[in-house]
Amino acid sequence: MQESDFEYVGFWARVWASLIDTVLMAIVVYPILIKIYGLAYFDVGRSGLIAGPMDFLISWVFPAVVVLLFWSAKQSTPGKMAIRAKIVDAETFTKPSKGQMIGRYLAYYVSTMPLCLGMLWVAFDKRKQGWHDKLAGTVVIRERTK
């Protein structure tokens, strides 16, 4: 694949993809959490970030596994598929390695911790890479419309 065949996917398109993925994940995760913990799960006064072991598995492990499975199978999540985007190696524009995918997922935490600056970086970078992309050696692209 040559650079003339694709475009780097920018900030707002990636925001939309993320919103789609978040809504889909919420549709699956929240009913399960409500079934286990009841509506008290959403109480603002609840102490602690994690309500219990099942909360950790359902809210943290399950989404990571699902995202990594989608990336592995499709190089994309449902949200990215909706905008025709896929994740590729930044040098070869081929499918990223499993290590790159895992690293990219973990690097999301690095990108979000300092006021989401690593995510906002997509808007200003010439290759539209967030910090998570830079750390993993990936880019998000889609075929150019002709």
The DSSP annotation for 17-57 comes to: HHHHHHHHHHHHHHHHHHHHH-GGGG-TT--SS--SHHHHI
- The span from the first CA to the last CA of the chain, in angstroms, equals 16
| Mean pLDDT of the chain, nearest integer | 94
Confidence band, pLDDT 50/70/90 cuts, at residue 49:
confident
pLDDT at 146: 66
Reported as a single tens digit per residue, the pLDDT across 55-78 is 999 999 999 999 999 999 999 999
Instruction: Say if 96 falls within a structural domain.
Output: yes
Could you give the number of structural domains in the chain?
1
Instruction: Say if 118 falls within a structural domain.
Output: yes
> What does the pLDDT average to over 97-124?
97
Confidence band, pLDDT 50/70/90 cuts, at residue 43:
confident
Instruction: Say if 46 falls within a structural domain.
Output: no
Instruction: Say if 119 falls within a structural domain.
Output: yes
Instruction: Say if 45 falls within a structural domain.
Output: no
Instruction: Say if 47 falls within a structural domain.
Output: no
Q: Range of 125's domain?
A: 3-39+52-143
Instruction: Say if 60 falls within a structural domain.
Output: yes
Instruction: Say if 108 falls within a structural domain.
Output: yes
